[in-house]
């Protein structure tokens, strides 16, 4: 993994000083803290794009990879650039969620047309599922899901950038082990770019990632996972990146479910995500909340590596079951099961009135 380590170091060296230098004012935050520029997206994009190009100038191996698959790199860069610009527009002036979602769909469709697609999925036991006509739906859903999951998890300083570095590093190794050198290289560049931004984003942050950075990270991780996690039979074992992305995917899934059960709009902002509950329930300081999300992500990434090592082995079933137990336990410990049991729609199904309605009749 020599060139992967090298490109990560170059990406870090680009992102860190660029993040320090960029101080352009952006819109105010919902949080009560002092205004912090949301420029992380630009420095991460620049590091991700230029690090492989710079490495290719000095490494024959990297130059050969870029020459053979430059269209794949260019396609991801253009589509990721569109998602980045959507987020950047929202970082400076609020953009309607419908517009953001619509443009994310456009970028996802363009990436699919450009060759990033799932096709067939490999199951942990070794079987396969051919998606057929559902392939574009599943692929585009995956791209949009992870894009928004990374944005929703970006509710505390250092969280999204740090877990992106952990996830990208994990995926870089698996892609390299599967023989997908360019995808491993790009994952490593994304990890290095994220790490270069993290020191300025840890509590108390001097720079924020913004929608631009969160969208770009999520979109690239989703796209590269489709392109890079292809096993020896040519199929995508998507459960590996899905497990590595356990925290953001679980958070976005629970967020939409609880909002639906509470009869609220699923796309509107609230402060009841995993990091919010970790902070409130355990009384942690901001840095400790960030470290807790890193620890949870490390568990998921470790499980993803074990699933890769034990592919088609009985151990993969044990790891899969452990992941499910860990995820359900996390949801339960944070009180989401109790909250959803007492949600508006579930109370109606149980024949009981919500607490607010009962109070209003007294």
Of the chain, the percentage scoring pLDDT greater than 70 comes to: 91
Cβ atoms of residues 97 and 69 within 8 Å? no
Beta carbons within 8 Å of 56's beta carbon, 6+ residues apart: 62, 63, 65, 66
Six-digit token string for 279: 């902070």
Mean pLDDT of 82-97: 90
- Judge whether residue 234 has pLDDT over 60: no
Look up the pTM and report it.
0.92
Per-residue burial over 157-181, b = 16 or more CB atoms within 10 Å of its CB, e = otherwise: bbbbbbbbbbbbbbbbbbbbebebb
Residue 322's alpha-carbon distances to 183, 215, 306, in angstroms, are 28, 30, 11
Six-digit token string for 222: 């989703």
Mean pLDDT of 163-188: 93
Q: How confident is the model at residue 360 (pLDDT cuts 50, 70, 90)?
A: very low
- Judge whether residue 280 has pLDDT over 60: yes
Residue 310's alpha-carbon distances to 1, 231, 324, 349, in angstroms, are 21, 13, 17, 43
- Domain with 92, as residue range(s), is 2-361
How many domains does the chain contain in total?
Answer: 1
Residue 101's alpha-carbon distances to 158, 267, 270, 326, 334, in angstroms, are 24, 10, 18, 31, 29
Please, which contacts does 198-201 make with residues 24 or more away whose CB atoms are closer than 8 Å? Answer: 198/158, 198/161, 198/162, 198/165, 199/16, 200/16, 200/19, 200/20, 200/40, 201/40, 201/157, 201/158, 201/161, 201/162
Q: How confident is the model at residue 227 (pLDDT cuts 50, 70, 90)?
A: confident
Name the least confident of 22-26, 28-32, 38-42, 181-185.
28-32
- Give the three-state DSSP class for 233: coil
- Strand ranges inside 49-183, DSSP E: 120-122, 128-130
Cβ atoms of residues 218 and 269 within 8 Å? no
Per-residue burial over 214-240, b = 16 or more CB atoms within 10 Å of its CB, e = otherwise: bbbbbbbbbbbbbbbbbbeeebbbbbb
pLDDT at position 248, please? Answer: 97
Pair type for strands 128-130 and 120-122? antiparallel
- Judge whether residue 351 has pLDDT over 90: no
Of the chain, the percentage scoring pLDDT greater than 90 comes to: 64
Cβ atoms of residues 122 and 237 within 8 Å? yes
- Judge whether residue 311 has pLDDT over 80: no
- Judge whether residue 338 has pLDDT over 70: yes
**270 φ/ψ angles, rounded to the nearest 5 degrees:** -150, 175
Mean pLDDT of 40-55: 94
Q: How confident is the model at residue 358 (pLDDT cuts 50, 70, 90)?
A: very low
Name the least confident of 23-37, 86-100, 163-177, 250-264.
23-37
pLDDT at position 1, please? Answer: 79
């Amino acid at each position: 993994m020599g060139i992967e380590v090298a490109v990560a170091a170059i990406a870090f060296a680009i992102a860190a000083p660029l993040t320090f230098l960029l101080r352009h004012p952006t819109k105010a935050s919902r949080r009560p803290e002092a205004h912090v520029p949301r420029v992380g997206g630009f420095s991460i994009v620049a590091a991700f794009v230029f690090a492989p190009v710079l490495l290719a100038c000095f490494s024959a191996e990297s130059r050969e990879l870029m020459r053979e698959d430059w269209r794949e790199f260019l396609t991801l860069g253009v589509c990721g650039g569109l998602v980045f610009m959507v987020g950047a527009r929202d970082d400076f002036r609020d953009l309607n969620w419908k517009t953001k979602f619509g443009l994310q769909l456009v970028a996802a469709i363009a990436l699919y047309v450009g060759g990033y697609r799932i096709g067939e999925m490999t199951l942990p036991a070794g079987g396969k599922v051919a998606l057929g006509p559902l392939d574009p739906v599943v692929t585009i859903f995956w791209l949009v899901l992870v894009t928004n999951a990374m944005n929703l998890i970006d509710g505390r300083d250092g969280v999204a950038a740090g877990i992106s570095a952990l996830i990208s590093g994990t995926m870089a190794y698996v892609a390299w082990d599967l023989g997908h050198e360019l995808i491993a290289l790009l994952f490593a560049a994304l990890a290095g770019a994220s790490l270069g931004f993290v020191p300025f984003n840890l509590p108390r942050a001097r720079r924020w990632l913004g929608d631009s950075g969160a969208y770009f990270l999520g979109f690239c991780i989703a796209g590269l996972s489709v392109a890079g996690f292809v096993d020896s039979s040519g199929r995508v074992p998507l459960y590996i990146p899905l497990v590595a992305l356990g925290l953001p995917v679980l958070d976005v899934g629970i967020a939409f479910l609880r909002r639906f059960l509470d009869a609220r709009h699923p796309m509107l902002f609230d402060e009841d995500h995993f990091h919010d509950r970790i902070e409130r329930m355990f009384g942690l300081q901001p840095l400790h909340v960030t470290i807790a999300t890193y620890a949870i992500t490390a568990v998921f990434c470790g499980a993803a590596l074990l699933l890769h090592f034990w592919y088609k082995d009985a151990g993969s079933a044990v790891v899969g079951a452990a992941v499910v137990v860990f995820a359900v336990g996390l949801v339960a410990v944070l009180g989401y099961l109790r909250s959803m049991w007492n949600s508006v729609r579930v109370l109606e199904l149980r024949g009981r009135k919500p607490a607010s309605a009962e109070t209003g009749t007294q």
